[in-house]
Amino acid sequence: MKPIIRKALKSSLAESLATPLSVDHYLGLIDSKLSVDEPRGRIAEATRQTPDSVTLTIEPNDNWTRPAPGQHILFGIDLDGVRHRRCFSIAGAPDENSLEITVKRNGDGAVSNFLVDNVEPGQLVYLTHAEGEFYPNASPPARALLLSAGSGITPMMSILRAWIAADELPDVVFMHYARTSADMIYEDALDRLADEQPSLELVKRFTSADGRISADTLDAAVPDLDERMTWLCGPAGFMDSVQPLLDARTTKPVFREQFESSRREAAHGEGEVHFVQSDVAASGDDGSLLEIAEQAGLNPPYGCRMGICHSCKCRVTEGTVRNLRSNEVQDIRDTDIQLCIHAAAGDVAIEL
């Protein structure tokens, strides 16, 4: 979009002519990727590096701003009529025009399974501007350890590629855990980089042969750990077992990135309800979320109390809820729900 056109479309005149809809609603008639300010994109390439992952190259519209190394986005895609949103780390270097993410199959996750099995170039995706403080440093440290497992490799790739692109690659040990060589995402790319860059030392560990991370393997691979800043990313179990090893060996900063939440899931479908804005916590054992809010002394808007009027719709930051009509249990994040027909089925954080 030419800057002058964008300026005209963002003007208050254009907004007044489109009211109560937005200019984007009309731009969608030309191309659904067009928007005056929302970053959206189309999938340009889908490459399967391993049997259970897919690397997507996305061509964003020009609302996309370049991310910092190690940042992530909320990625939205329509599947069977429903827009799903998931967080993914950006794997590409920040100065590339396109955007690269790699998605690993995640149990029975609807989005990851669809992307790994069926996604094709051309599909429209909804993006957010990149967020995250995994790499807060303006300049690289003298020595670094990038320690990852599974799909935790993706933000590492972004940091590594950013250093190389800026010609500022420090002395790096890149240590990665995968189940087997066939399961390792970015293995070829990393092998190539390790050949080209003398200051990059690549340590590949395959748990099916080498076992999980231990004090001995860490000491052997990174003897000068106490001189390195560390970036750590991987599944929750991996992170939990690495943290004490690092604590015992270094006082230098350790940066962590973790997407799997450590949320408690109660056995009988209860949990704790946290009302974020009023900073009140309540037990979610009895009643609908609306009743729990009221018992906690809050005063959320409501109407019919039977799920038909949508007056009590409220945003859940994160949590597990049970729909009282269908009994369906759902993990949700940044989603609006009707409080009167949902109960807690685990911990829930509500923006109230």
Partner 1 sequence: MGRPTHLTDADVEQLGAELDALREEVMNSLGKEDARYIYRVLNTQRFSELAGRALLFAGILPPAWLAGTALLSVSKILENMEIGHNAMHGQWDWMQDPALDSATYDWDNTCPGREWKHSHNYMHHTYTNIVGMDRDVGYSILRMSEDQKWHPAFLAQPLYVLVLAAFFQWGVALHDLEWERLGKDKSYAEALSQGRDIWKKVRKQVLKDYVLFPALAGPMAPFVFTGNMAANFNRNVWSFLIIFCGHFTEQAEMFRIEETESETQGEWYLRQMLASSNVNGSVPFHVMTGHLGYQIEHHLFPDMPSNRYREIGPKVQAICERYNLNYNTGPFSRQLGGVAKRILRMALPHRRKRRGPMPSSIHHKQPARA
The footprint of partner 1 (CB under 8 A) covers: 13, 16-17, 19-21, 25-26, 28-29, 78, 80-85, 303-304, 306-311, 313, 326, 335-336, 338
**Residue 81 Cβ vs partner 1, minimum distance, rounded to whole Å:** 3
Residue 316 to residue 299: CA distance in whole angstroms: 16
Nearer to partner 1, 75 or 177 (CB): 75
Tokens of 150: 């599974």
Nearer to partner 1, 192 or 310 (CB): 310
Nearer to partner 1, 115 or 242 (CB): 115
**Residue 307 Cβ vs partner 1, minimum distance, rounded to whole Å:** 7
Q: Are 285 and 291 in contact (CB under 8 A)?
A: no
Q: Are 52 and 112 in contact (CB under 8 A)?
A: no
Nearer to partner 1, 252 or 333 (CB): 333
Nearer to partner 1, 148 or 338 (CB): 338
E strand residue ranges, the chain: 40-47, 53-60, 72-79, 82-89, 99-104, 124-126, 143-149, 171-178, 200-206, 229-233, 254-257, 272-275, 280-283, 313-323, 329-338, 342-350
Please state, as a whole number, how many other Cβ atoms lie within 10 Å of the Cβ of residue 193: 19
Residue 151 to residue 106: CA distance in whole angstroms: 10
Q: Going by DSSP bridges, is the β-strand pair 124-126/200-206 parallel, antiparallel, or unpaired? A: unpaired
Nearer to partner 1, 66 or 85 (CB): 85
Q: Are 300 and 339 in contact (CB under 8 A)?
A: yes
For helices 187-196 and 153-165, the axis angle rounded to 10 degrees is 30
Q: Could you give the strand order of the β-sheet that contains 280-283, starting from the edge strand earlier in sequence? A: 280-283, 272-275, 342-350, 313-323, 329-338
Tokens of 348: 């829930």
**Residue 40 Cβ vs partner 1, minimum distance, rounded to whole Å:** 12
Nearer to partner 1, 83 or 268 (CB): 83
> Which alpha helices (DSSP H) does the chain contain, by range?
3-10, 12-18, 23-27, 110-118, 153-165, 187-196, 207-210, 215-221, 236-249, 289-295
**Residue 124 Cβ vs partner 1, minimum distance, rounded to whole Å:** 12
Return the closest-CA partner of residue 213 out of 187, 178, 171.
178
Nearer to partner 1, 154 or 338 (CB): 338
Residue 271 to residue 255: CA distance in whole angstroms: 30
Nearer to partner 1, 16 or 262 (CB): 16
Please state, as a whole number, how many other Cβ atoms lie within 10 Å of the Cβ of residue 319: 27
**Residue 130 Cβ vs partner 1, minimum distance, rounded to whole Å:** 20
CA pseudo-torsion sign 135, 138, 140, 144: negative
